[in-house]
A and B are shown apart, each in its own frame.
Chain A
Amino acid sequence: MIPFVRHTGRVAALPRVNVDTDQIIPKQFLKRIERTGFGQFLFFDWRLRADGTLHPGFELNQPAAAGASVLLACANFGCGSSREHAPWALAEYGFRALIAPSFADIFFNNCCQNGLLPVVLAADLVAELFRRAQAASNGYLLTVDLEAQQVSDAAGFAASFAIDPYRRELLLRGLDQIGATLLEEARIAAFESRRRSSWAGDSG
């Protein structure tokens, strides 16, 4: 996993609530057995027209959003299916950080597993970012600093965000969660032997 320390990038603004993972990556693309190759299908039904050309009305296709790496989104982003193909597609398309008032739980976890930083900011702050993004017709840049836990722009916006220290550490160092858990082998083994001797319901 690529570490995430600090990132400055162009913002794409997607002012829609409850964006579900079926929209982020439709089911017809879930048949691949690799973790790669999903970026081209991101927001497929919204981003592309039936003939395969870009849909001019879709937010990510606006010139100001070209090459964007920070996605500004609305409440409950990533709801629905647990498909990790959604963060895979977002990351491969070029996003490094997502900012929204709230994310669906499973999606939030999936992003962290892939070095894609989900930042939760209060709704009024996100609304202010949407305003600033809209006003900047030539593209709007944001800096997302995980080390300092802060989102800022060049025009004086600065807001801090919370993230639990465990996830922050893994993201900062680009660490694999499995490796971290395997270090706890002694505890896991102890739990298993305790469980074997005490739990009636365990027939597995």
Chain B
Amino acid sequence: MSSLWKLLYSLKFTIFVIMTIALVSIIGTVVEQGRDAAWYAMEYSDRWVDIILKLKLDDMYHSPWFTGLLILLVVNIIACTIERFPPKWRVLLRKVDKVDTGIIDKLSHRDTFNLNKNTSEFKSTLIALFTKRGYKVKADDVSGGGIALYAWRGIIGRFGSDVTHVSLLLILLGAIIGSFAGYKDFKAVYVDTSFSVPDSDFEIRLDKFWIEYYDTGQIRQYNSNLTVIEDGKDLFTKHIWVNEPLFYKGIRFYQSSYGKAWDRVAEAELTLASKGVTKKIYEPIVIKWDELTSIPGSPYSVRMIGYLADFAYDYQNENFYTKSGDPNNPAANIVVYDSSGEQIATTWLLLNHPDLLGPIPGTTDHLYLTGYRPTHYSGLSINKDPGTNIVWLGSTIMGIGFIFAFFIYHKRIWLSVEVQEDGINTVKVGGIINKNQLSFDKEFDGLVAQLKLEAGVAETLQDNEED
């Protein structure tokens, strides 16, 4: 048990877990995610399909084994935090009762020089000097007239890693909350229709949808006006576009796509032609969806009640259907009335096959579909993710953790003044930094040069050599 615990907080294990997650993540970028079994069967050989489906490589980032790896990382971080950090904190936050300058001989940055000054005067100089450099100082008088001094700064930098680790847990927590308490949905919405939002008590109506173009014909932006309806009343309307969602009661509505409807059009253009004794082609008329319109100069009125983008007839079930969403074979379903308002025919008019169905029954008049204007739907992504704000909070805290960890260094300086038998006082100074030795080399040399100046053993502040 204890060796398992040891493993869980060992850094080697951490490196192993992190690298494993990194490596297996590659799989999901090579095998396309979220396709159905048939797609994989087409793309891969049987053996691979078997492996992909068994190991859930088709949705691997949500598979139990990948989740298991993430849990292992979380356990690892928690174990590490429990085991390593309290001792570190205790050492770091302990109050310095008595300065122990014995440590100086063990430090790699150290120097020794004489003091040509009165010790108590030197002590107040030192306190001022270190304070000015941003250090906290504790200076003790040692029996016999010496000084023991400890100066430190940037202790908060040592907590950067802890803050980072906690922030990581927060981000993962936010992700978990999102995956359990949230949902994603998609709705294709037509203008002037509304839908009730899942898991909520309000409705959304699409008032308008439009596309803006560049001069070159490329799409600049697509837009929708959405109205929130609550308790049967319009609450407010918002103009959304890509990157500018509507946010209401924790649910976001995004403009994510658009498309042409396959089962309706905005308008159709019909042309009437008489092929009897007197041949005549009438002026084309434009009719709106489901609106009774009379054809000027003729006894007919028409109403469009249906549309199919890729018209076909199903002989088995004896009905009409669309083979695809693309307008390969557009067809309009039209009801024809005579001058007395009597319904005389219901017919399908095909754009690409104008003469398929013959004249209006009992006449020599033909009706043709000669054009149409498609209706667009607005594709709305609907997303509820109550974990998002926790993720942002975690990210912000991570940022703070990084500033502490990477840009604030813990620096400690010890200094002793020893009174020797012959009356000459010697100064010993040593320092240590927790990381970034390179910048500390310079800083320490500068510090020693200044101390020597104050101690009266150097005339001027020499430029420290830089190699």
A and B part of one assembly: no
A positions within 8 Å CB-CB of B: none
B positions within 8 Å CB-CB of A: none
